[in-house]
Structure 1
Amino acid sequence: MKLLQSIFGQHRSLVRVVGRRYFAASTNEYAKRNYANNVSEYNTVVGSITSQRRNFLLRDVYEDMMLDGVQPTRDTFHSLIVGTMKGARLQDAFFFKDQMKSMGLIPDVVLYNFLISICGKCKNSDLSIQILEEMKKAEVKPNVQTYICLLHACAAAGRLDRVYAIVRDMTAAGLGLNKFCYAGLITAHKNKAPITNDFNTKVIEFVERSKSWSSVETSSPNAENMMMGVSDEELYNIPTAEYINRRGGFVVRQFTAYHTAFHACAELRNVELMETLLEMLKKEGKTPDVYIVMQIMRCYLHAGDIDRGLKTFEDHMSSGKLPAIELYVTLVEGAMVGHTPKGMQLAQNTLENMTSRNYFLSPKMGNDLLLVASGEKTGGYTTANYIWDLMQARNITPSLPAVQAYYQGLKEREIPEDDPRLLLVSRTYDNLRLRLGPGLGRT
């Protein structure tokens, strides 16, 4: 609970003894320590923790509610399950669902949709089907969002058979397929193992079909989802979900099927299909948004074509369009694939260029790049060192996996044991292991 104290430290510390709390302080002192006193305040705490991406604390907050004798409402459970969805915490989500039912609150269709969405994030299509069956037994009628969530949950696991069965059910029910459905079909083919021989043809077909309007496309967004801060892209696990609220043309929402297709090309290093999609977009008179530019770069870089990946970056930067930091990070990450001398030098130069333009790494970006850079087995380890230094300059404590990888990389080199960098990294690594331990959060 120390993390909760650090977030709401101006309120109270928590003491647990055999499921009860003992307070020797007066009522006034207790009130000062208490970070939430009623269901409304607890709901605010849940929202705050979710926005801070500290989803592993949600169950602790819930347990505090129970110990405080505060009765959670339907809205509380919705907020808790939205938090678990954003953090892909499957076990916690079903714990909250069971707790909700034990209190006589029957989950509604929106909550069931969130649960199916979590299954998609965790690639558990079997469980998503079980949820649909549970809905039927509880006489909760699935809506359009339910079927699209289910489609994407099965697509995440590459279950083409189930995806096409869902499409047939939707068609039989008179529901047209919208851009999110076609995005799901593209994802299903991407995740099918092995990749089918007609993959390129299918992707092009689905992108073309997605351009037509349907009954689903014209339906209104779910108002409750919007109130809960859940976009359609996040609900259906579309690749652009984490960028959807960015401004300046970062994501053009009409390109949903294109986004998924370009992302699939980057993941599969399919340069041929990527270039075909790019030509299709240009023939329509459309300009790639920043997200698509990122995927074009990733596709070239992950396929080992550093020169064209760099040219894509430079062309965008010289065009006067949005110079997002994600483009720098994409170039750095892609250049480090294979840890070639040329790629590592490009990564180093790009980081220096980025820093000179006052772009700074977020904790997630820093951790992701440090993990990749720490895999360098030869060379001077300068890129990993530089990323570490950038994070230190911003007072960012790297994640345990990133520190561990970096520490092991340093240990593999001939560095004196009293080297200041090695000592600092070793101390950080030991502190993180002691503080977090093997039991941090719940899966």
Structure 2
Amino acid sequence: MIPQQKRVPHLSVLLFLPKTPKKPSSPLNKSMKLLRQISANRQSLLAAIGRRHFAVSADEYAKRNYANNVSEYNTVIGSITSQRRNWLLRDVYDDMMLDGVRPEKDTFRALIAGSMKGVRLQDCFFFRDEMKSMGLIPDVVLYNFMISTCGKCKNSAEATRIFEEMKKLEVKPNGQTFICLINACAASGRVDQVYAIIRDMTAAGLGLNKFCYAGLIAAHKNKTPLAEDTSAKILELVEQSKGWSSIEQTRDSAENVMMGITEEELYNIPTANYVHRRGGFVLRFLTVYHVAFHACADLKDVQAVDTLQEMLKKDNRTPDVFILMHIMRCYLNCGDIDRGLKVFEEYMSSGSPAVPELYATLIEGAMTGYTAKGMEIALDKLKEMLSRNFNLNPATGNALLLVASGEKTGGYTIANMVWDLMQARNIVPSLAACQAYHNGLKEREIPEDDPRLMLVSRTLDNLRGRYGRTPTNFGGRR
């Protein structure tokens, strides 16, 4: 006779228990009893089912398992984040739970930081909730990461809710918290809210720095509907920013430095992806100018860009590569190919090192309007870029393919060339770029059995199956 146990035994034992005769009972009683058993033994049953090693030997389990304790899992999380495979963080966390490894505060910090880098807002909330369910209260650094992620997703309402949650939990905000909130609201064009936060900062005795002015510029640029005096406001803010004291400038916190998070990334500054580049690509003391040139290029305001260059010259400053990129972008997007090309040639003749981003900016901008002159310059510079052994990366390749695919006349030379270069480097195109290229091929008199068209069609079908039917439906946890 097998004695009764209060806990559900291991799943392997459950499979081989002998059947014992029981007294008949009604279906209702059976259902109620089953519900009580599930409720009482849920944790034990999940633990029994969740053991990944119950059906394999110890040696086989050791081969399959990539981490055994919290320290090893922290290392894996850091590695995944550095590889930009942030969508795997939830899977790693699930494996920790199945292994019975309890995450520490540093584990959640790494998970939320990785989710911020991957712009995965729902993952940030998930890890925040898991952390609180284990009795761990997020600190100010984690809240800063979450507010920053809201800014990357242009969700100012959620950023404000997180800030209010900090107050309820008595987590004291610091200067970085306010600047994260400023730039999160700025991304949504909430100008009034940005000014309200700045008033709260000054009331708390905190001075403004360059990142606050960067947020103000971004807020005016992102406001909808756009004000008629937006460019004038941007120029005024650039002038005002020259009065901020070096004593008031923020510093990268020790935690952020250890995680490789710069202030530019935390505050969603346009230079975030370039600050680690050497050779004068980004001069970090020109942050306000960076944001201003970026904004005016988006607005296609040539006059404002010219005024900014004069202001920069009066300050005895030389534009860095990032600023030159956006000066070129503004001219080219307004159809002034000659001025854009002149900026590029002056840089190349200065003896400064060639930069692939400048080539990409010129090639993409020259295709604006798909004029014969522009397409010829774009093709020449693409060939010149390749002759310097500058290979396409995924971001540049997809950007050029998307623009080149819009050509309605001509031989479709640049689009075909970019596609071939991406295939040679095994770069998977984005759904939007592949769709545009496929549409362009279909508009031309190409046989259905053409090898290129067949390859593009197969690639497009695979991308649709992976991401969904529309370019904006990328699925995943967001």
Using the size of structure 1 for normalisation, the TM-score is 0.92
1:440 and 1:64 map into 2 onto residues whose CA distance is 22
Match of 1:176 among 207, 229, 237: 207
Identity %: 70
Does the 8 A contact of 1:290 with 1:322 survive in 2?
Answer: no
Checking the alignment, whether the CA contact within 8 Å between 2:281 and 2:321 is kept in structure 1 is yes
Is 2:476 the partner of 1:441?
yes
DSSP-derived class of the 1:375 partner = coil
- Does the aligned pair in 2 maintain the 1:176–1:216 contact within 8 Å? no
Give the letter for the 1:129 counterpart.
T
Tell me by how many angstroms 1:256 deviates. Answer: 0.3
Deviation at 1:372, TM superposition (A): 1.9
1:225 equivalenced with 2:260 (yes/no): no
Alignment correspondent of 2:308: 277
Q: Once the 2 structures are TM-superposed, how far is the Cα of residue 36 of structure 1 from its aligned partner? A: 2.1
Contact map agreement 2:270 2:291 (CA 8 A) in 1: yes
Deviations 1:81-138 (A, max 9, x none): 1111112111111111111111111000010011111111111111111111100000
Q: What residue is the counterpart of 1:210 in the other structure?
A: 241
Match 2:362 to one of 315, 321, 331: 331
Structure-2 change in CA distance of 1:421 and 1:106 (3 Å):
same
2:164 — aligned with what?
133
Partner deviation per Cα, 1:206-238 (whole Å, 9 max, x = no partner): 212222343763454311111121100011111
For 1:287, the aligned partner's letter is T
Q: Distance in 2 between matches of 1:134 and 1:346?
A: 54
Whether the 8 Å CA contact 1:144–1:216 is kept in 2: the answer is no
Among residues 195, 200, 204, which one is paired with 2:231 in the alignment? Answer: 200
Distance 1:228 1:280, change over 3 A: same
| Unaligned runs of at least 5 residues, structure 1 | 1-16
Could you say if the C-alpha distance between residues 385 and 20 of structure 1 is closer, same or farther in structure 2, counting changes exceeding 3 Å? farther
Confirm or deny: 8 A CA contact 1:175 1:216 kept in the other structure: no
Report how far residue 380 of structure 1 moved. 1.9
Write the deviation string for residues 340-396 of structure 1: whole angstroms up to 9, x where unpaired. 333222222211110011111111211222122222233221111010111122222
* CA shift in 2, pair 1:218/1:160, >3 Å: closer
The match for 1:262 is 293
State the 1:274 CA deviation: 0.5
Candidates 144, 164, 183, aligned match of 2:175: 144
Q: 1:120 is matched by which residue type in structure 2?
A: G
Instruction: Determine if contact 2:209/2:250 at 8 Å carries over to the other structure.
Output: no
- Partners of 2:250 and 2:320 in 1: CA distance: 25
Q: Is 1:96 the counterpart of 2:108 in the alignment?
A: no
- Opposite residue 387 of structure 1, the aligned amino acid is V
CA distance in 2 between partners of 1:56 and 1:442 (Å): 8
Partner Cα separation in structure 2 for residue 71 and residue 339 of structure 1 = 58
CA distance in 2, matches of 1:120, 1:430: 33
Q: Does 1:377 align with 2:422?
A: no
1:319 Cα deviation from its structure 2 partner:
0.9
Q: Contact between 1:119 and 1:125, CA under 8 Å: does it hold in 2?
A: yes
Give, in angstroms, the shift of residue 412 of structure 1.
2.2
Within a 5 Å distance, the mapping from 1:75-90 to structure 2 comes to: 75-90=106-121
Task: Measure how far apart 1:172 and its partner are.
Answer: 1.3
State the match for 2:390 in structure 1. Answer: 359
> Which residue of 2 is the match for residue 5 of structure 1?
none
Give the structure 2 partner of residue 41 of structure 1.
72
* Equivalent residue, structure 1, for 2:194: 163
2:206 maps to a residue whose letter is L
State whether residues 370 and 402 of structure 1, in contact with CA within 8 Å, keep that contact through their aligned partners in structure 2: yes
Aligned length: 427
**What letter corresponds to residue 201 of structure 2 in structure 1?**
M
Divergent runs of 4+, >4 A: 17-20, 434-440
Is the Cα–Cα contact under 8 Å of residues 231 and 296 in structure 2 kept in the other structure? no
Aligned residue in 1 for 2:25: none
Query: 1:164 Cα deviation (Å)?
Result: 0.6
Cα shift at 1:430? 3.0
Is the deviation greater in 81-90 or in 255-264?
81-90
Compared with structure 1, are the counterparts of its residues 436 and 156 closer, same or farther at alpha carbon in structure 2 (3 Å cutoff)? Answer: closer
Local SS of the residue matching 1:240: helix
Please report the RMSD computed on the Cα atoms of aligned residues, expressed in angstroms.
1.9
Q: Name the CA shift for 1:213/1:26 in 2 (closer, same or farther; >3 Å).
A: same
Which structure 2 residue ranges, 5 or more long, are not aligned? 1-47
Shift of 1:180: 0.5
CA–CA distance in 1 between the matches of 2:72 and 2:442?
48
Q: Is the 8 A contact 1:39 1:71 kept in 2?
A: yes
Alignment-derived partner of residue 4 in structure 1 = none
Q: Is the 8 A contact 2:51 2:99 kept in 1?
A: no
**Cα pair 2:189 2:223 within 8 Å, conserved:** yes
- Residue 408 of structure 1: which of 435, 439, 446 is its match? 439
* Match status 1:123 vs 2:154: yes
Which one has the largest radius of gyration?
Answer: 2
SS of residue paired to 2:171: coil
Aligned to 1:105: 136
C-alpha separation in 2, matches of 1:187 and 1:102: 37
CA contact (8 A) 1:250 1:322 kept: no
- Partner Cα distance (1:170, 1:223) in 2: 22
Q: Out of 407-416 and 73-82, give the one that drifted further.
A: 407-416
Give matches, 1:231-250, under 5 Å.
231-250=262-281
Could you tell me how far apart the structure 2 residues matched to 1:414 and 1:22 are? 58
TM-score (norm 2): 0.85
